[in-house]
Amino acid sequence: MTPKPGTKRKRRGPSVRRPDAAATGFAGRTYDALREAYPNAKCALHFRSPFELLVATILSAQCTDARVNMLTPALFAAYPTPAAMAAAPVEALESLIHSAGFFHNKAKSILGASKRLIEVYGGEVPSAMDDLLTLPGVARKTANVVRGTIWGLAEGVVVDTHVQRLSGRLGWSRGKNPVEIERELMALFPKEIWIDLAHVLTHHGRRICSARKPRCADCPIHTSCPSSVA
């Protein structure tokens, strides 16, 4: 049905198509082995509040979590709340986040998100996906990180560079972009592990299955991985 003129379409997540039982079984067994190897896998960004996680996740785009964790203590000491951040001089903010890269755009997003939090949400980070997606600098990945880490809410799978790389190497996804990959992972795994799945894959990607030189001989799943050279 065609929406009425001026009506904004509701933002929807990726559609899901179920894989066959063999693929689901292999994926489940592989996930279980990785979860056993990384029982304490969790979000690597440091934060003390939903607002700090929101800002840290915006900063993490095309930047390592380790680098973000190095610069956020000074950032949040200077601007600890949405109100303080919204009033920050853009030059001062850019100086504090310069090492995260793309600092002009990230500063603009952080300022815009902070102002909208004050003006629309009473200074609180909203938990609803549709609300989060109205914040400048926030797309599905950022919204999924915040919702999953803070409230344990899963509407999708966080697809960062590690998840994208490993899902391809393991044969879980043939997607060419994060939206396609997220759709395939959502179909392959039950919703109750979507949050944990991203944490486990990210930890494995950092420690063993790196982009340039994966350490297949040290990998806990190398005997079943279709890309293993061990």
Identify the active-site residue in 65, 106, 141, 196.
141
* Rg from Cα positions in the chain: 19
Identify the active-site residue in 108, 115, 131, 160.
160
Question: Dihedral, CA atoms, 129, 133, 138, 143, nearest 10 degrees?
Answer: 10
> CA-to-CA distance for 69 and 98, rounded, in angstroms?
13
Take residue 154 and report the two structure tokens written for it.
């899963």
> CA-to-CA distance for 209 and 162, rounded, in angstroms?
8
Instruction: Let me know if 141 is a catalytic residue.
Output: yes
Instruction: Let me know if 131 is a catalytic residue.
Output: no
Q: What are phi and psi of 3, to 5 degrees?
A: -70, 155
Burial of 118 (0-12, 13-18, 19+ CB in 10 A): middle
- The answer to whether the CB of 145 falls within 8 A of the CB of 53 is yes
- The answer to whether the CB of 221 falls within 8 A of the CB of 34 is yes
Residue positions annotated with a catalytic role: 141, 160
